[in-house]
Amino acid sequence: MTPNGPFYCETGHPWLFMAEPVNTITNGFIILAGVYAYLYVRRARVGMPPDLAALLFLLFATGIGSFAWHAFRTRVALAFDAIPGVLFLFVLAGLWFRALFGNWAGVGGAIMLVVLAAGAPYLWWHGAQVMPPRALVFVPAFFAISVLGGVLAAFTVPRYGASVAALGGAAILCGVTAALCRSIDLMVCSVIPIGSHWIWHMMLSLAAYLGIVMLTRMKLARPVA
């Protein structure tokens, strides 16, 4: 596929050919986030709980799948990119709810996020071909997730402390910033010739790392009843 295909900016800029190499290379940030998150969990001396192990697995799988998608551009590779990433988001939300309100709330919280982000699978599956202004239809979903994250952070403060809540808030902020960069990728071509997809990779990696650190800190803290 040539750089002027539907997955790329069509600016004619001489740097345009760098779009996919940059997108492919920046998948390394996802893997790096997984490595640092793994090291943090190990150093925290909480063992390797199944819930954190699942998140780490999904984070590494997302990085590998995203690399495969940008390198090979096949539907199968896109599935390996999208599915682990979506599952990571839902599992993280469920675990946050569980830590605050109990096991059943964890299940309910994950389902709630599925409903709020119902359009996300379409974005990840067809997002490379979404052109403005259609990409902005997902802004309400991002706003809803931001509000939900803010509520969870507020409930986290009295139970686990402000520093733990700040980690969750920062993770939400980075995640929504990443999603917005993914959505406006083709809209910023006149300013950033290679698009903003690479920012999505970097900010999403940071969001995932912060989320895992937050859950680890929750296991170390003694929640206030």
Q: Which residue has the higher pLDDT, 120 or 223?
A: 223
143/172 Cα distance (integer angstroms): 11
Q: Which residue has the higher pLDDT, 61 or 124?
A: 61
User: Over 50: is that where the pLDDT of 132 sits?
Assistant: no
Residue 23's nearest CA partner among 176, 118, 127 is 127
Q: What is the pLDDT of residue 79?
A: 85
Q: What is the CATH number of domain 16-219?
A: 1.20.1070
DSSP code string of 45-73: T----HHHHHHHHHHHHHHHHHHHHHHH-
Find out whether 58 and 84 touch, Cβ atoms under 8 Å: yes
Average pLDDT over residues 90-111: 81
Q: How confident is the model at residue 127 (pLDDT cuts 50, 70, 90)?
A: very low
Q: What is the pLDDT of residue 217?
A: 95
Could you read off the pLDDT of 152-205 as tens digits, one per residue? 999 999 999 999 999 999 999 999 899 888 878 777 877 877 778 889 899 999
Residue 110's nearest CA partner among 123, 120, 119, 97 is 97
Could you read off the pLDDT of 26-63 as tens digits, one per residue? 999 999 999 999 999 999 989 999 999 999 999 999 99
CB atoms within 10 A of CB 29: 19
DSSP SS3 for 133: coil
